[in-house]
Amino acid sequence: MAGMPTRISTDEVAHVARLARLALTPEELERFTEQLGAVLEHAQDVEGLDTAGVPPTAHPLPLANVLRDDVVVPSLDRDEVLAQAPAVEADRFRVPRILGEVP
List the one residue out of 1, 33, 34 whose CA is nearest residue 14: 33
Q: How many residues bind other proteins (CB under 8 A)?
A: 58
Angle between helices 26-43 and 10-19 (to 10 degrees): 100
Q: How many CB atoms lie within 10 A of CB 13?
A: 21
- One character per residue 26-65, x = contact with other proteins (rule: CB under 8 A): --x---x--xx-xxx-xxxxxx-x-x--xxxxxxxx-x--
CA atoms within 13 A on the CB side of 25: 3
Task: Select from 88, 72, 68 the least CA-distant residue to 80.
Answer: 88
Per CB under 8 A, which of residues 71..90 are in contact with other proteins? 76-77, 80-81, 83-87
Task: CB nearer to other proteins: give 58 or 72.
Answer: 58
The residue ranges that bind other proteins (CB under 8 A) are: 1-5, 8, 12-13, 16-17, 19-24, 28, 32, 35-36, 38-40, 42-47, 49, 51, 54-61, 63, 66, 68, 76-77, 80-81, 83-87, 93-98, 100
